[in-house]
């Protein structure tokens, strides 16, 4: 089965066109070799691809006839992605939401002043280290 059809069948990508684009950008490798969309995959092949800031590593266990339901995906692949990668993604999500929750709108006047003050502190620190302030 073609790599684009396989990744679509096991529900890693929503459309085969998305898989094709990822292949053209060299984001997908099969057994360490960059794969074109027409690359054939077989059981025991190791597929590595980057999606949603995670480098996924999967092993092909079997080839599905066509697109399978989400509950049946584990029959056709084994996810070898380390757990630390998923923990790192969770930390990234938390760090983005730390300052401002998404959807709360633009910064308030106080927020803007704090940002400007922080920027001025950085520039003042840079100026203190200069030997020639006129340069």
Q: What is the pLDDT of residues 47-92, one digit of tens each?
A: 999 887 888 899 999 899 888 888 988 899 998 888 888 888 888 7
Whole-number mean pLDDT of the chain?
A: 82
What are the structural domains, with CATH classification, of the chain? Answer: 3-82 (3.10.290.10), 95-129 (no CATH)
Average pLDDT over residues 92-111: 71
What's CA 13's distance to the chain center, in Å?
Answer: 13
pLDDT exceeds 90 at position 46: yes
pTM value is 0.65
Compute the CA torsion angle 111, 117, 121, 127 (nearest 10 deg): 130
């Amino acid at each position: 089965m073609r790599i684009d059809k396989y990744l679509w069948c096991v529900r890693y990508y929503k459309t085969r066109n998305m898989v094709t684009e990822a292949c053209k950008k060299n984001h997908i490798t099969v057994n360490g070799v960059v794969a074109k969309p027409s690359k054939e995959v077989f059981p025991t092949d190791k597929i590595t691809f980057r999606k949603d800031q995670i480098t996924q590593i999967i092993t092909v266990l079997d080839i599905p006839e066509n697109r399978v339901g989400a509950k049946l995906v584990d029959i056709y692949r084994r996810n070898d992605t380390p757990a630390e990668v998923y923990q790192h993604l969770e930390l990234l999500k938390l760090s983005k939401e730390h300052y401002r929750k998404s959807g709360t709108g633009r910064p308030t006047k106080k927020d803007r002043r704090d940002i400007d003050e922080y920027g001025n502190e950085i520039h003042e620190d840079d100026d203190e280290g200069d030997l020639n302030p006129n340069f």
